[in-house]
Structure 1
């Protein structure tokens, strides 16, 4: 097959690796609009289950990713002046630059052409057609604002809902020894961050707050440097004198902040064009699954294409339909967890007056569809009892997915 991937992020690069491993005769090209090494973002997180899947897909790149990652197993929450720590599952962090360098190097070693600084825009048909000419398969791995998906937006049935809270991705030289949450009460309301290290000398910090708090603190105006100084003051106890780093570029403070875009599509393919990663779906950053889901998409698409060698357009359509059906089913629970996680943070004042250990316990339960509808103290007692009584555990497992499905259906109606 002649395969063109538009987008040189983790999904597009990993898919190109998998295609070449399955058949070196595949002609695979990855086009990325940015220059090599110029990605936005500091670190990404993943869990051990992803490593197992990557080892099955390509042991060599999996080993390189694991070797370049840092690990933690504790979670720490700072709530005002109180602190609580819990031991949990092992997590991993890796710099986004490092991850992309590993995948791009592996792809090139296998014979993939990786072309940087090649823009594919919906309004330039001549350029777009030149890139895609003669391709048997075109993979749109160009993110939430995918140009390829946008060209046929009516066919894909894209739906985007915008979250309420503004957030910002930052870096710091403070190295955290655990996955860290910090909740600070300001004169304009609560502001909080998630922080984790991604290499031996740097960490990612994601800051979030309600819109009123954002405006009240002046984070919607002034320069980027002004905004960073204000955040350094608010999280001084967490940062221990270490600075925060933004994207730079000369834009004002407000331009650095985002509101999360939850994206879904009615269908994920059109003819020989298929959506991958954030071009197909997004899940709220608070569950830390975006990169993992993109890599799992690549695994599923490569497997579907090679499960039964496609014969012509009908065979390709069957393979792409198989990929879409598999991934939609696998994403249901993750997307439900992401919706309720985002809602938990939007309703944060419900939980911040609890004792810190209880608040932290409910932080870990934020994916539950029951939590928004049960008083926090009562939910904590029920969950604590369920952990010791098997009948209650079974009831919780049975009721949770059913309530999630019912609530989601109502919100879509």
Structure 2
């Protein structure tokens, strides 16, 4: 089978690796528009639950994949300058460039061909492919070209975001809420290497305008955010890397495939980073697509249908949880009156997927604090 994968992100690379391992005779080419070693962003984070599927799918690759991860056994919510630890939340963090390097090396070793600097906008450019995987990101050009078939929908959310890095090491996954004269600023931060942490700043559009960030340059925005979170950064600066403001977009598709083309990863649907599940969902989808292709080697449409049948419900549930999480962040100004423990408790219940009893099992000490203060739902 001749397989073409458009996009060399986690979804496209992991699918290519799994299929090549199970069918070495297949000719698999990944078309990556960027040059080798190019990456944007800082770190990625997985929960232990999110990593378990990787271990089940390929234990040998799992060991390589997690070899250099930074791990922690709790997170913390910082409100009014008070850090509330939340135990029983295990996370594994790594740099995005290391994530891609491990996947690239594994693919190359398995015999997958990766063509860097190869930009494919139209599946018609790949007439010899028996199967084409469009894993070209949230702004997928393939999806746009075939929009009448995939019927994508886009929901642009209101808050503004900017990705930064910092040498301040946030060992636990830390959510920081800072009230300013302009409004509330939020930082999503976590250490992902021995030297660096991700520091994602979030702000509502009204606060963003009042602070003058709508008129600020990238450097001016970085300096402003650095002042807002000066106490948290401990004298360290924020580091930029194409750190322009953007808004989150929730992407869905009525149809996941057309002819011999199937969508994968963020091209298929986005899961907001406030849940920390986008890369996890992309790689789980890669496993499911590989399973479906292997089960229906002679019938590509049947393989695509099996893939969609196996993953659509999970996709819908995660996107629903992501919307609830986004709703919470977008209305956080109405929560700021809560004391730090009550605030952290409200945060943990935001998606409806975690209950009071779930929290008691994870962190009985935290729930004891909640109940002692009479804050239990």
The answer on 1:273 being equivalent to 2:257 is no
Q: In the alignment, which of 137, 140, 165 is matched to residue 146 of structure 1?
A: 140
Partners of 1:267 and 1:333 lie apart in 2 by: 17
Q: In the alignment, which of 204, 208, 221 is matched to residue 202 of structure 2?
A: 208
Q: In the alignment, which of 272, 281, 301 is matched to residue 317 of structure 1?
A: 301
Q: RMSD value over aligned CA atoms?
A: 1.8
Q: Which residue of 1 aligns with 2:371?
A: none
Q: Which residue of 1 aligns with 2:347?
A: 363
Q: Contact 2:322–2:351 at 8 Å: present in 1 too?
A: yes
Q: Which residue of 2 aligns with 1:187?
A: 181
- Higher-RCO chain (CA-CA 8 Å, sequence separation at least 6): 2
Q: Which residue of 1 aligns with 2:318?
A: 334
SS in 2 for 1:29: strand
How far residue 330 of structure 1 moved from its aligned partner, in angstroms, is: 1.8
How far residue 386 of structure 1 moved from its aligned partner, in angstroms, is: 9.3
Q: Which runs of 5+ in 1 are unaligned?
A: 123-127, 249-254, 371-382, 389-413
How far residue 293 of structure 1 moved from its aligned partner, in angstroms, is: 0.5
Q: Which residue of 1 aligns with 2:373?
A: none
Q: Contact 1:190–1:213 at 8 Å: present in 2 too?
A: yes
Alignment of 1:88-237 (within 5 A): 88-122=88-122, 129-130=124-125, 132-237=126-231
Partners of 1:162 and 1:95 lie apart in 2 by: 27
Q: Contact 1:337–1:368 at 8 Å: present in 2 too?
A: yes
SS in 2 for 1:353: coil
How far residue 61 of structure 1 moved from its aligned partner, in angstroms, is: 2.0
How far residue 50 of structure 1 moved from its aligned partner, in angstroms, is: 3.0
Partners of 2:202 and 2:157 lie apart in 1 by: 12
Partners of 1:133 and 1:58 lie apart in 2 by: 32
Q: Contact 2:18–2:290 at 8 Å: present in 1 too?
A: yes
Partners of 1:346 and 1:259 lie apart in 2 by: 12
How far residue 387 of structure 1 moved from its aligned partner, in angstroms, is: 7.1
How far residue 216 of structure 1 moved from its aligned partner, in angstroms, is: 1.2
Q: Contact 2:154–2:251 at 8 Å: present in 1 too?
A: yes
| Structure with the larger helix share | 1
Q: Which moved more, 1:96-105 or 1:214-223?
A: 214-223
1:85–1:97: structure 2 CA closer, same or farther, 3 Å change rule?
same
Q: Contact 2:75–2:89 at 8 Å: present in 1 too?
A: no
How far residue 331 of structure 1 moved from its aligned partner, in angstroms, is: 1.9
Cα deviation code 1:244-298 (max 9, x no counterpart): 11124xxxxxx80110010000010001100001000011111010000000010
Q: Which runs of 5+ in 2 are unaligned?
A: 361-377
SS in 2 for 1:287: coil
Q: Contact 2:80–2:340 at 8 Å: present in 1 too?
A: no
Q: Which moved more, 1:42-51 or 1:353-362?
A: 42-51
1:183–1:270: structure 2 CA closer, same or farther, 3 Å change rule?
same
1:84–1:369: structure 2 CA closer, same or farther, 3 Å change rule?
closer
Partners of 1:53 and 1:322 lie apart in 2 by: 19
The answer on 1:16 being equivalent to 2:16 is yes
Q: Which residue of 2 aligns with 1:401?
A: none
1:88–1:111: structure 2 CA closer, same or farther, 3 Å change rule?
same
SS in 1 for 2:38: coil
Partners of 1:322 and 1:386 lie apart in 2 by: 33
Q: Which residue of 1 aligns with 2:374?
A: none
Partners of 1:88 and 1:273 lie apart in 2 by: 41
Q: Contact 2:162–2:244 at 8 Å: present in 1 too?
A: yes
Q: Which residue of 2 aligns with 1:292?
A: 280
Q: Contact 1:166–1:214 at 8 Å: present in 2 too?
A: yes
Partners of 2:347 and 2:107 lie apart in 1 by: 39
Residue correspondences, number: 361
Q: Contact 2:14–2:283 at 8 Å: present in 1 too?
A: yes
SS in 2 for 1:286: coil
How far residue 82 of structure 1 moved from its aligned partner, in angstroms, is: 2.7
How far residue 188 of structure 1 moved from its aligned partner, in angstroms, is: 1.0
Q: Contact 1:340–1:369 at 8 Å: present in 2 too?
A: no
